[in-house]
A and B are shown apart, each in its own frame.
Chain A
């Protein structure tokens, strides 16, 4: 979709507007002058520095070209197996994230009320001092219950280090991340069914079935790239209530009712079992409780005719699809990598994993790979044990849940309804735009307003940042070295994010921020434990105060005594040798035999491992679990089951609200990026063209969209590419922070109308369970 409107040049104010004649010579168009980085056409003094991208959570390898200390271009790094020698539109525009004029430049202290955006510039020490005074006060009030301090982190890199600081050193049991507003049901369903999160081998499959995941407009490596490059050789079938680019490019597109993919999976299972299409030797060898599953599926009569009534896909097509899937050599039912949509999401993912199992597509080429990742040893850290720190509560009432990232909606609900077992008073938020990222923004606002202390670490003045008491400017991914990371199970490698340029303004890396904070907090927080913690008091009696402090691990900055460069060198040289370290610093990527294996095949397509050296099949015991007792005990279905409540029903005049994103955006993190703003100046709501005609809604008309929790206004985009009873618009737009010059007040934020419902198995927000009305304004 490309909608050109004369009013679209919102970012003009950050450039200089010039009116000139456009190429058709009859219209006057205003063009902004590109003020950011005209290329420097020099050949001297160019530095090329390998790094890992962070424009989304995917991590592709790039090479930054630095001229006169300015990053002028990003190219793909051909050595990295995962990213397949490509940089996507977002990765290419990382330069504009680095040089975004709206970036946070200095530590800021709030002087107005939360949300009004009034801040005063302070020094780093003043910011830390303020945090210290607040925390001392809070922990005294809470008698050293460290869990009153909550931390959260929405960025994949450095997350473990962040957890080590707040959970380990500070001692809170409350940490939250994006998993419960993202894909935890998929991870959980895979682990509980086959004991591993696996890795999907699209490259090796000859038949890929995708339900809803929009791989061509939400690029994930290597999945999206392999799918895009294999279009000529591999059959791709896509189910979706919206004709996405992935659906349009597929060999077969099956339009489907929202939230009914599970019914299709059950019918496929029924057909496979009834016609004995499945891989019998695989099932016999690996399946547990298959007889139970077989009986369950057959007894429930999940026939193709039954599924037609649920999904709107003709029975005949379901039969044909199932036969093709099971007749393929290496079929893959792609498990997705996307938000949790419907209340049956966990069961859907289970049914998909089981279908892969029925086809024998686990631990083999073209299926779910168990593989052999390169093991990176953990750096040891001595964390104090706080006697008064209480348990986390966000998983209360959740059957499984992620013990790491928890459940945001359950957590928030307990806070705002005053049902938390103890007061939560402080929140440290890193790269996690809570005010835009989860359903029902008003509740998030209320939660933040209830805090005695809110600290935000970020690169941008987001909606969440302007709710903070202290804003700490972190440098971008291009201005820091991070700890080496292990990637991949099938073609494993290590990759290192090198520092491309020095941190700008007064920004610092997360490690440097935590080091400063740790040094400031260690002694005062230790003194509080000394007052309230009987275990520590005993330890002091026994060892003396100095020794108790050291042995107990109360030096909060301990992990950061050495800088990241030194830690990387020690870790890599010790475990993988000097040559590995040299290569990671110089080329950004290393794996055993890289120099022998890595070769170009044709036109930028590389082979990273010869086929017979890839870990398609490994010698590992695993079972495919059909029946999960714990679910049955908790009143949930132990096997994938259809329930009436899953039926797709929308009241007359209502629409199911579904959400997603443009290929150029990563949620709210990129909507201020001036380069990406050039493609989608604002978001539009997709509404079926025939429905729109009846409602007299035309392209660009402003419509009001209302759900039970709120209403928004947005421009309309009538199209034949969406289900008549669904509407869609891209997530991440309409920042309320006026410091975000390009995204402020532009478009609509889906989370102002998406109801805050969550499923009970993983505590994940279900994004597609809201019905809305729509009217032309």
Chain B
């Protein structure tokens, strides 16, 4: 029982793709498309070469926000989506009929079609792989060269994520949508 979340010290990200590869290997993710489970939003510099404006340059890791109020769950007519004991938004695979309303409902564009299992897939914080095996780390977090990702239990005041959220300012993505997202971006 936990309330798992992830914080990103995202300014440290160098867009090296280690997290993406680790995720794909851990979770057996299909190759050949963008935004499968996790991805990095890239903003390039503007201006001309001798006078580049780098202020906007940004590598922002993102994935399913594990909302406490998930619009995908609301949207699913077959009740395939549920929140598990660790606060992770999960899927009853056998109930998913690929109706795809969840894809439309997600404001974070985190869902995609897994054409091997014929389900709508997304990040689940390695719930059925690492967490199931008793680990308390995700594949992306543990491998990250710059240690951008801080994963842990919000209900545990001593967890690293709770500590860091106490100490540092952060923002969340589209909080106005009322989704109560559990990804935190450290300023």
Contact = CB atoms under 8 A, between A and B. Distances in A.
Interface of A: 2, 4, 9, 11-12, 15, 18, 20-23, 25, 29-34, 37-39, 41, 43, 46, 72-76, 84, 86-89, 91-93, 95, 216-217, 219, 224-225, 228-229, 231-232, 243, 245, 248-249, 253, 255, 312, 602-605, 663-664, 674-676, 678-679, 688, 690, 720-724
B145 A228 contact: yes
Interface string B27-41: 111111111000000
Given A253-B54, A674-B31, A20 B115 contact: yes
Contacts of A18: 115
B143 A87 contact: yes
Given A21-B113, A93-B25, A249 B142 contact: no
A602 B162 CA distance: 13
B28 A31 contact: no
B20 interface: yes
A9 B33 CA distance: 10
A33 B147 contact: no
Interface in B113-134: 113, 115-116, 128-129, 132-134
A255 B54 CA distance: 13
A219 B145 CA distance: 9
Interface residues of B, number: 58
28 contacts: A9-B32, A11-B31, A20-B115, A23-B35, A23-B103, A31-B32, A34-B24, A37-B25, A43-B132, A86-B145, A87-B143, A89-B17, A91-B18, A92-B18, A92-B22, A92-B25, A216-B16, A219-B16, A225-B145, A225-B146, A228-B146, A229-B147, A603-B164, A663-B16, A663-B17, A678-B32, A721-B45, A723-B49
B82 interface: no
Interface of B: 11-12, 14-18, 20-22, 24-35, 42, 44-50, 52, 54, 57, 100, 103-104, 109, 111-113, 115-116, 128-129, 132-134, 139, 141-147, 150, 160, 164
A41 B128 contact: yes
Contact of B25 (A22, A74, A84, A688): A74
A231 B45 contact: no
Contacts of A41: 128-129, 132
Contact of A33 (B116, B145, B146): B116
B20 A95 contact: no
Given A76-B143, A720-B47, 18 more contacts: A20-B113, A23-B112, A25-B100, A30-B32, A33-B30, A34-B29, A43-B132, A74-B25, A75-B143, A86-B147, A88-B18, A228-B14, A229-B146, A231-B12, A253-B54, A675-B31, A679-B20, A720-B49
B21 A73 contact: no
Q: Select the residue from B15, B109, B139 with max chain A CB neighbours within 10 A.
A: B15
A72 B137 CA distance: 17
B136 to A, nearest CB: 12
A630 B117 CA distance: 68
Contacts of A245: 14-15
Nearest to B50: A255
A260 to B, nearest CB: 14
B131 to A, nearest CB: 11
Nearest to B51: A255
A312 B12 contact: no
A221 to B, nearest CB: 8
A287 to B, nearest CB: 37
Contacts of A39: 25-28, 129
A716 B114 CA distance: 32
